[in-house]
Amino acid sequence: MGVVFKFLLGLSIFAANLQLQAQNVEIYRNFDDFEAKYLKTPAENDTMYIINFWATWCAPCVKELPHFEKAIRKHRDNSKVQFIFASLDFSHQIETKLKPFVIRRPYMKRNVAISDPRQQIWIDKVSEEWSGSIPMTLLKYKDQYAAIEGAFHYKEDLFVEIEKFTNKHIK
């Protein structure tokens, strides 16, 4: 009996861990590591990345998240389209604000937090067109980029941008 109980307990802890792991937040104190992983991808990487720069404290960012949920649903069968939520939450609020926020939103599967203070350097590395205001959404495929500053007011606005980018660079 004890063994079965322990086994079940172990299993449930394992399952809970899996759930948390699926929504872990990768923290980048050095932007170069984020760049290496998501922006300077190897030439054979043919995944399209949709990277939303946001923060829990940014009201228009939070407001547009449901549009991303719908876009994720729309592209769920295509493993070559990946959504990444790049949070600019303050370092001291990653545990207290960011993690609880994303755990309540299971569609936010891939989360990163960029807490490198050298903004004037890394904003340009993300996109020279970006002024630094959030929200900003970066569409990326191989070495092609589109930086869209400002919030999407309707889900269709986001869908259209993704489609435009796909037609131009992928199809």
Where do contacts with another protein occur on this chain (CB under 8 A)?
A: 55, 57-60, 88, 90-91, 117-120, 123-124, 130-135, 149-151, 153
Which residue's CB is nearer to another protein, number 109 or number 125? 125
> Residue 57 or residue 159: which is nearer to another protein going by CB?
57
* Sheet of 48-54, strand order: 25-28, 111-114, 81-87, 48-54, 136-141, 144-149
Q: What is the rounded distance in angstroms from the CA atom of residue 123 to the CA atom of residue 39? A: 13
Cα separation values, 30 from 15, 68, 80, Å: 31, 26, 27
What is the Cα–Cα distance from 152 to 132, expressed in whole angstroms?
17
Q: Nearer Cβ to another protein, position 46 or 129?
A: 129
Least distance in angstroms from the C-beta of 59 to another protein: 8
Fill in the amino acid letter for 107: Y
Residue 107 or 130 having the CB closest to another protein: 130
Q: Give the phi and the psi of residue 48 in degrees, each rounded to 5.
A: -90, 130
Report, in Å, the least distance between residue 91 CB and another protein. 7
Query: Which of 49, 54 has the CB closer to another protein?
Result: 54
Least distance (Å) between residue 117 CB and another protein: 5
Task: Return the CA Rg of the chain.
Answer: 18
- Please, what sign has the CA dihedral across residues 32, 123, 114, 170? negative
Look up residue 1 and give its DSSP letter.
-
| Residue 130 C-beta: closest distance to another protein, Å | 8
Q: How far is the CB of 163 from another protein (least distance, A)?
A: 21
Tokens of residue 166, six digits: 């796909």
